[in-house]
Chain A
Protein backbone atom coordinates (compact mmCIF):
# COMPACT_ATOMS: atom_id res chain seq x y z
CA UNK A 1 0.00 0.00 0.00
CA UNK A 2 2.81 2.40 0.82
CA UNK A 3 4.49 1.73 -2.59
CA UNK A 4 1.42 2.88 -4.62
CA UNK A 5 1.11 6.40 -2.97
CA UNK A 6 4.20 7.96 -4.54
CA UNK A 7 3.07 6.88 -8.02
CA UNK A 8 -0.25 8.55 -7.62
CA UNK A 9 1.27 11.78 -6.35
CA UNK A 10 3.72 11.88 -9.26
CA UNK A 11 0.95 11.33 -11.73
CA UNK A 12 -1.11 14.09 -10.06
CA UNK A 13 1.82 16.48 -10.24
CA UNK A 14 2.39 15.64 -13.89
CA UNK A 15 -1.27 16.35 -14.74
CA UNK A 16 -1.14 19.67 -12.94
CA UNK A 17 2.10 20.61 -14.71
CA UNK A 18 0.63 19.64 -18.06
CA UNK A 19 -2.47 21.68 -17.34
CA UNK A 20 -0.34 24.67 -16.35
CA UNK A 21 1.72 24.40 -19.55
CA UNK A 22 -1.44 24.13 -21.62
CA UNK A 23 -2.92 27.13 -19.82
CA UNK A 24 0.27 29.09 -20.41
CA UNK A 25 0.24 28.25 -24.14
CA UNK A 26 -3.41 29.15 -24.31
CA UNK A 27 -2.75 32.52 -22.67
CA UNK A 28 0.24 33.18 -24.95
CA UNK A 29 -1.70 32.16 -28.04
CA UNK A 30 -4.66 34.33 -27.07
CA UNK A 31 -2.35 37.30 -26.46
CA UNK A 32 -0.60 36.85 -29.78
CA UNK A 33 -3.89 36.48 -31.60
CA UNK A 34 -5.13 39.70 -29.99
CA UNK A 35 -1.98 41.51 -31.02
CA UNK A 36 -2.13 40.50 -34.67
CA UNK A 37 -5.77 40.03 -35.64
CA UNK A 38 -7.26 43.06 -33.93
CA UNK A 39 -5.05 45.74 -35.66
CA UNK A 40 -5.68 44.07 -38.99
CA UNK A 41 -9.36 44.23 -38.38
CA UNK A 42 -9.18 47.92 -37.47
CA UNK A 43 -7.10 48.68 -40.56
CA UNK A 44 -9.57 46.81 -42.72
CA UNK A 45 -12.40 48.81 -41.21
CA UNK A 46 -10.65 52.13 -41.87
CA UNK A 47 -9.89 51.22 -45.43
CA UNK A 48 -13.35 49.99 -46.28
CA UNK A 49 -13.92 53.18 -48.35
CA UNK A 50 -11.60 54.96 -50.70
CA UNK A 51 -12.54 58.58 -51.43
CA UNK A 52 -11.04 60.91 -54.02
CA UNK A 53 -11.96 64.54 -54.62
CA UNK A 54 -11.02 66.31 -57.82
CA UNK A 55 -11.59 69.92 -58.87
CA UNK A 56 -11.22 70.29 -62.63
CA UNK A 57 -8.57 72.72 -63.94
CA UNK A 58 -11.17 75.27 -65.03
CA UNK A 59 -12.34 75.60 -61.42
CA UNK A 60 -8.87 75.76 -59.86
CA UNK A 61 -8.86 79.54 -59.99
CA UNK A 62 -12.15 81.03 -58.89
CA UNK A 63 -13.68 84.31 -57.85
CA UNK A 64 -15.62 85.00 -54.68
CA UNK A 65 -19.31 84.44 -55.32
CA UNK A 66 -18.73 81.74 -57.93
CA UNK A 67 -19.64 78.07 -57.66
CA UNK A 68 -16.82 75.56 -57.41
CA UNK A 69 -17.64 72.27 -59.12
CA UNK A 70 -15.91 69.02 -58.25
CA UNK A 71 -16.11 65.25 -58.61
CA UNK A 72 -16.14 62.82 -55.69
CA UNK A 73 -15.13 59.23 -56.48
CA UNK A 74 -15.98 56.63 -53.84
CA UNK A 75 -14.83 53.00 -53.86
CA UNK A 76 -16.40 50.57 -51.44
CA UNK A 77 -13.53 48.22 -50.65
CA UNK A 78 -15.62 46.03 -48.41
CA UNK A 79 -17.79 45.36 -51.43
CA UNK A 80 -20.89 45.25 -49.30
CA UNK A 81 -24.45 45.57 -50.42
CA UNK A 82 -26.01 48.89 -51.36
CA UNK A 83 -25.74 51.29 -48.45
CA UNK A 84 -26.63 54.92 -47.79
CA UNK A 85 -23.77 57.20 -47.01
CA UNK A 86 -23.59 60.88 -46.09
CA UNK A 87 -21.17 63.10 -47.95
CA UNK A 88 -20.22 66.32 -46.22
CA UNK A 89 -18.65 69.00 -48.43
CA UNK A 90 -16.89 72.01 -46.95
CA UNK A 91 -14.53 74.79 -47.94
CA UNK A 92 -11.85 75.78 -45.46
CA UNK A 93 -9.25 78.51 -45.41
CA UNK A 94 -5.52 78.00 -44.66
CA UNK A 95 -6.31 78.43 -40.92
CA UNK A 96 -8.81 75.57 -41.13
CA UNK A 97 -11.82 77.83 -40.66
CA UNK A 98 -14.83 76.46 -42.46
CA UNK A 99 -16.39 78.99 -44.81
CA UNK A 100 -19.26 76.93 -46.14
CA UNK A 101 -20.58 73.45 -45.49
CA UNK A 102 -23.13 71.22 -47.19
CA UNK A 103 -24.07 67.53 -46.87
CA UNK A 104 -26.12 65.06 -48.85
CA UNK A 105 -27.12 61.43 -48.60
CA UNK A 106 -26.29 59.13 -51.48
CA UNK A 107 -26.55 55.42 -52.08
CA UNK A 108 -23.49 53.39 -53.06
CA UNK A 109 -22.72 49.80 -53.91
CA UNK A 110 -19.18 48.99 -55.02
CA UNK A 111 -18.21 52.35 -56.45
CA UNK A 112 -19.75 55.63 -57.43
CA UNK A 113 -18.86 59.05 -58.73
CA UNK A 114 -20.75 62.20 -57.80
CA UNK A 115 -20.56 65.73 -59.16
CA UNK A 116 -21.10 68.39 -56.54
CA UNK A 117 -20.84 72.12 -56.18
CA UNK A 118 -20.39 74.65 -53.42
CA UNK A 119 -20.99 78.38 -53.60
CA UNK A 120 -18.03 80.45 -52.48
CA UNK A 121 -19.25 83.25 -50.21
CA UNK A 122 -19.05 86.68 -51.87
CA UNK A 123 -17.02 88.20 -49.04
CA UNK A 124 -14.28 85.55 -49.30
CA UNK A 125 -10.84 87.11 -49.61
CA UNK A 126 -8.18 86.04 -52.10
CA UNK A 127 -5.97 83.07 -51.29
CA UNK A 128 -5.66 79.29 -51.31
CA UNK A 129 -8.57 77.23 -50.06
CA UNK A 130 -9.30 73.52 -49.47
CA UNK A 131 -12.37 71.66 -50.55
CA UNK A 132 -12.97 68.84 -48.07
CA UNK A 133 -15.28 65.86 -48.52
CA UNK A 134 -16.04 63.55 -45.62
CA UNK A 135 -17.89 60.27 -45.87
CA UNK A 136 -20.12 59.27 -42.93
CA UNK A 137 -21.95 56.05 -42.24
CA UNK A 138 -24.27 56.22 -39.29
CA UNK A 139 -22.62 59.48 -38.28
CA UNK A 140 -19.23 57.78 -38.07
CA UNK A 141 -16.54 59.24 -40.37
CA UNK A 142 -15.37 56.52 -42.68
CA UNK A 143 -13.23 58.34 -45.25
CA UNK A 144 -12.23 61.79 -46.36
CA UNK A 145 -10.50 63.55 -49.22
CA UNK A 146 -9.61 67.05 -50.30
CA UNK A 147 -8.44 69.20 -53.18
CA UNK A 148 -7.35 72.81 -53.25
CA UNK A 149 -8.23 75.85 -55.35
CA UNK A 150 -7.42 79.56 -55.47
CA UNK A 151 -9.65 82.59 -55.14
CA UNK A 152 -8.55 85.56 -57.21
CA UNK A 153 -9.70 89.18 -57.36
CA UNK A 154 -12.99 89.58 -59.16
CA UNK A 155 -12.57 91.35 -62.48
CA UNK A 156 -15.20 93.71 -63.74
CA UNK A 157 -16.59 92.13 -66.90
CA UNK A 158 -17.93 95.49 -68.09
CA UNK A 159 -14.42 96.89 -67.91
CA UNK A 160 -13.30 94.22 -70.37
CA UNK A 161 -16.27 94.84 -72.66
CA UNK A 162 -15.64 98.59 -72.66
CA UNK A 163 -11.89 98.09 -73.17
CA UNK A 164 -12.36 95.62 -76.04
CA UNK A 165 -15.01 97.80 -77.68
CA UNK A 166 -12.75 100.83 -77.34
CA UNK A 167 -9.76 98.96 -78.83
CA UNK A 168 -11.89 97.68 -81.73
CA UNK A 169 -13.24 101.17 -82.39
CA UNK A 170 -9.75 102.67 -82.32
CA UNK A 171 -8.52 99.92 -84.66
CA UNK A 172 -11.42 100.56 -87.05
CA UNK A 173 -10.82 104.31 -86.98
CA UNK A 174 -7.12 103.75 -87.56
CA UNK A 175 -7.86 101.40 -90.43
CA UNK A 176 -10.29 103.87 -91.98
CA UNK A 177 -7.73 106.66 -91.57
CA UNK A 178 -5.01 104.51 -93.18
CA UNK A 179 -7.31 103.60 -96.10
CA UNK A 180 -8.31 107.25 -96.66
CA UNK A 181 -4.71 108.44 -96.34
CA UNK A 182 -3.48 105.70 -98.70
CA UNK A 183 -6.12 106.70 -101.23
CA UNK A 184 -5.05 110.35 -101.00
CA UNK A 185 -1.35 109.44 -101.24
CA UNK A 186 -2.00 107.11 -104.17
CA UNK A 187 -4.10 109.76 -105.87
CA UNK A 188 -1.33 112.33 -105.42
CA UNK A 189 1.30 109.92 -106.71
CA UNK A 190 -0.85 109.20 -109.74
CA UNK A 191 -1.31 112.92 -110.31
CA UNK A 192 2.40 113.60 -109.91
CA UNK A 193 3.20 110.95 -112.50
CA UNK A 194 0.60 112.39 -114.83
CA UNK A 195 2.03 115.92 -114.44
CA UNK A 196 5.55 114.60 -115.07
CA UNK A 197 4.25 112.92 -118.19
CA UNK A 198 2.46 116.10 -119.37
CA UNK A 199 5.57 118.28 -118.82
CA UNK A 200 7.82 115.73 -120.52
CA UNK A 201 5.41 115.35 -123.42
CA UNK A 202 5.05 119.14 -123.91
CA UNK A 203 8.81 119.65 -123.70
CA UNK A 204 9.38 116.99 -126.37
CA UNK A 205 6.75 118.57 -128.63
CA UNK A 206 8.32 122.03 -128.23
CA UNK A 207 11.71 120.66 -129.17
Chain B
Protein backbone atom coordinates (compact mmCIF):
# COMPACT_ATOMS: atom_id res chain seq x y z
CA UNK B 1 0.00 0.00 0.00
CA UNK B 2 1.09 3.55 -0.70
CA UNK B 3 0.43 7.09 0.31
CA UNK B 4 -0.17 9.84 -2.15
CA UNK B 5 -0.24 13.60 -1.76
CA UNK B 6 -2.13 15.49 -4.44
CA UNK B 7 -1.52 19.20 -4.77
CA UNK B 8 -3.85 20.88 -7.18
CA UNK B 9 -5.90 24.01 -7.69
CA UNK B 10 -9.12 24.53 -5.75
CA UNK B 11 -11.10 24.13 -9.00
CA UNK B 12 -9.53 20.78 -9.77
CA UNK B 13 -9.79 19.42 -6.27
CA UNK B 14 -13.21 17.83 -6.74
CA UNK B 15 -12.24 16.35 -10.13
CA UNK B 16 -9.28 14.66 -8.48
CA UNK B 17 -11.50 13.35 -5.70
CA UNK B 18 -13.99 11.97 -8.21
CA UNK B 19 -11.20 10.20 -10.05
CA UNK B 20 -9.78 8.68 -6.87
CA UNK B 21 -13.10 7.47 -5.48
CA UNK B 22 -14.21 6.00 -8.79
CA UNK B 23 -10.87 4.20 -9.13
CA UNK B 24 -11.49 2.31 -5.87
CA UNK B 25 -14.40 0.24 -7.09
CA UNK B 26 -15.95 -1.93 -4.39
CA UNK B 27 -13.19 -1.04 -1.99
CA UNK B 28 -14.35 0.55 1.23
CA UNK B 29 -12.95 3.99 1.96
CA UNK B 30 -12.80 6.56 4.73
CA UNK B 31 -13.53 10.09 3.61
CA UNK B 32 -12.30 12.86 5.92
CA UNK B 33 -14.17 15.91 4.75
CA UNK B 34 -12.61 19.17 5.94
CA UNK B 35 -13.92 21.49 3.20
CA UNK B 36 -17.45 20.38 2.46
CA UNK B 37 -20.20 18.74 4.42
CA UNK B 38 -20.76 15.02 4.02
CA UNK B 39 -24.09 15.78 2.42
CA UNK B 40 -22.63 17.97 -0.33
CA UNK B 41 -19.72 15.58 -0.99
CA UNK B 42 -22.16 12.69 -1.32
CA UNK B 43 -24.37 14.73 -3.67
CA UNK B 44 -21.42 15.69 -5.89
CA UNK B 45 -20.21 12.09 -6.06
CA UNK B 46 -23.68 10.79 -6.83
CA UNK B 47 -24.07 13.45 -9.58
CA UNK B 48 -20.91 12.04 -11.12
CA UNK B 49 -22.41 8.56 -10.86
CA UNK B 50 -19.92 7.45 -8.21
CA UNK B 51 -21.15 4.99 -5.64
CA UNK B 52 -20.89 6.15 -2.04
CA UNK B 53 -22.31 3.11 -0.28
CA UNK B 54 -18.81 1.92 0.68
CA UNK B 55 -17.65 5.30 1.91
CA UNK B 56 -17.40 6.07 5.61
CA UNK B 57 -17.55 9.80 6.20
CA UNK B 58 -15.83 11.78 8.91
CA UNK B 59 -17.49 15.16 8.64
CA UNK B 60 -15.33 17.91 10.09
CA UNK B 61 -17.54 20.75 8.84
CA UNK B 62 -20.93 20.00 10.38
CA UNK B 63 -21.08 19.80 14.11
CA UNK B 64 -24.68 18.62 14.32
CA UNK B 65 -25.57 14.97 13.88
CA UNK B 66 -27.67 14.82 10.73
CA UNK B 67 -26.94 11.32 9.57
CA UNK B 68 -26.49 8.30 11.82
CA UNK B 69 -23.89 6.85 9.47
CA UNK B 70 -21.62 9.88 9.67
CA UNK B 71 -19.07 10.66 12.35
CA UNK B 72 -18.63 14.30 13.26
CA UNK B 73 -15.27 15.49 14.59
CA UNK B 74 -14.20 19.08 15.03
CA UNK B 75 -11.00 19.80 13.06
CA UNK B 76 -9.36 21.48 16.06
CA UNK B 77 -9.25 18.15 17.85
CA UNK B 78 -6.53 16.33 15.94
CA UNK B 79 -6.18 13.60 18.58
CA UNK B 80 -9.84 12.76 18.26
CA UNK B 81 -9.64 12.87 14.49
CA UNK B 82 -6.61 10.62 14.50
CA UNK B 83 -8.35 8.21 16.86
CA UNK B 84 -11.44 8.15 14.63
CA UNK B 85 -9.30 7.38 11.54
CA UNK B 86 -7.40 4.69 13.45
CA UNK B 87 -10.61 3.07 14.63
CA UNK B 88 -12.10 3.05 11.13
CA UNK B 89 -8.89 1.56 9.69
CA UNK B 90 -8.79 -1.11 12.41
CA UNK B 91 -12.42 -2.09 12.00
CA UNK B 92 -12.75 -2.14 8.24
CA UNK B 93 -11.52 -5.51 7.11
CA UNK B 94 -9.40 -6.02 4.02
CA UNK B 95 -8.14 -3.45 1.58
CA UNK B 96 -9.30 0.12 2.13
CA UNK B 97 -8.42 3.69 1.30
CA UNK B 98 -8.39 7.00 3.13
CA UNK B 99 -9.07 10.41 1.55
CA UNK B 100 -8.25 13.62 3.38
CA UNK B 101 -9.93 16.58 1.75
CA UNK B 102 -8.14 18.96 2.22
CA UNK B 103 -5.06 19.06 4.44
CA UNK B 104 -4.53 22.81 4.38
CA UNK B 105 -7.90 23.37 6.10
CA UNK B 106 -6.40 21.89 9.26
CA UNK B 107 -4.11 24.92 9.44
CA UNK B 108 -7.10 27.15 10.13
CA UNK B 109 -7.78 25.34 13.42
CA UNK B 110 -4.34 24.05 14.42
CA UNK B 111 -0.75 25.15 14.37
CA UNK B 112 1.48 23.90 11.59
CA UNK B 113 3.60 21.55 13.70
CA UNK B 114 0.54 19.81 15.14
CA UNK B 115 -0.78 19.27 11.62
CA UNK B 116 2.60 17.90 10.52
CA UNK B 117 2.60 15.48 13.50
CA UNK B 118 -0.96 14.43 12.67
CA UNK B 119 -0.12 13.73 9.03
CA UNK B 120 2.97 11.77 10.06
CA UNK B 121 0.81 9.54 12.29
CA UNK B 122 -1.71 9.01 9.50
CA UNK B 123 0.87 8.13 6.87
CA UNK B 124 2.41 5.54 9.19
CA UNK B 125 -0.70 3.42 8.60
CA UNK B 126 0.40 2.61 5.07
CA UNK B 127 3.28 0.49 6.30
CA UNK B 128 1.31 -1.18 9.09
CA UNK B 129 -2.20 -1.57 7.71
CA UNK B 130 -3.73 -2.55 4.44
CA UNK B 131 -4.67 1.01 3.57
CA UNK B 132 -3.98 3.44 0.78
CA UNK B 133 -3.83 7.09 1.80
CA UNK B 134 -4.64 9.97 -0.47
CA UNK B 135 -4.31 13.46 0.93
CA UNK B 136 -5.34 16.50 -1.08
CA UNK B 137 -4.38 20.10 -0.71
CA UNK B 138 -4.97 23.24 -2.80
CA UNK B 139 -1.75 24.53 -4.33
CA UNK B 140 -2.23 28.07 -3.05
CA UNK B 141 -2.64 27.25 0.65
CA UNK B 142 -0.18 26.09 3.28
CA UNK B 143 2.94 26.02 1.19
CA UNK B 144 5.16 25.72 4.24
CA UNK B 145 3.10 22.83 5.52
CA UNK B 146 3.35 21.07 2.19
CA UNK B 147 7.12 21.49 2.23
CA UNK B 148 7.23 19.83 5.63
CA UNK B 149 4.99 16.88 4.81
CA UNK B 150 6.32 15.85 1.41
CA UNK B 151 8.65 13.35 2.99
CA UNK B 152 5.87 11.45 4.69
CA UNK B 153 4.22 10.45 1.41
CA UNK B 154 5.40 7.78 -0.99
CA UNK B 155 4.26 9.83 -3.99
CA UNK B 156 3.41 13.45 -4.63
CA UNK B 157 1.16 14.43 -7.55
CA UNK B 158 1.02 18.04 -8.67
CA UNK B 159 -1.71 19.26 -10.97
CA UNK B 160 -1.08 21.83 -13.75
CA UNK B 161 -3.99 24.20 -13.90
CA UNK B 162 -3.53 25.60 -17.38
CA UNK B 163 -3.36 22.33 -19.30
CA UNK B 164 -5.46 20.47 -16.72
CA UNK B 165 -2.87 17.77 -16.63
CA UNK B 166 -1.25 16.04 -13.74
CA UNK B 167 2.34 15.26 -13.51
CA UNK B 168 3.67 12.68 -11.19
CA UNK B 169 6.78 13.84 -9.46
CA UNK B 170 8.95 12.19 -6.92
CA UNK B 171 9.29 13.90 -3.57
CA UNK B 172 13.02 14.37 -4.23
CA UNK B 173 12.17 16.52 -7.23
CA UNK B 174 9.91 18.70 -5.15
CA UNK B 175 12.38 19.20 -2.35
CA UNK B 176 15.48 19.87 -4.44
Contact = CB atoms under 8 A, between A and B. Distances in A.
Interface stretch (A37-45, A77-85, A116-124, A188-196): A188-196
B165 interface: no
B114 to A, nearest CB: 17
B53 A202 contact: yes
Contacts of B79: 184
Interface string A48-68: 000000000000000000000
21 contacts: A184-B79, A188-B80, A191-B71, A191-B83, A191-B87, A195-B71, A195-B87, A195-B88, A195-B91, A196-B91, A197-B68, A198-B68, A198-B69, A198-B70, A198-B71, A199-B88, A201-B69, A202-B53, A202-B54, A202-B56, A206-B53
B80 A199 contact: no
A187 interface: yes
B92 interface: yes
B149 interface: no
A61 B83 CA distance: 61
Given A199-B91, A199-B92, A202-B69, A191 B54 contact: no
Contacts, number: 36
B84 interface: yes
B110 to A, nearest CB: 17
A205 interface: yes
A188 B54 contact: no
A3 to B, nearest CB: 154
A141 B91 CA distance: 98
A198 B80 contact: no
Nearest to B84: A191
B87 A192 contact: yes
Nearest to A197: B68
A2 to B, nearest CB: 156
Given A202-B53, A202-B56, A194 B83 contact: no
Contacts of B68: 197-198, 201
Contacts of A191: 71, 80, 83-84, 87
Contacts of A195: 71, 84, 87-88, 91
Contacts of A188: 80, 83
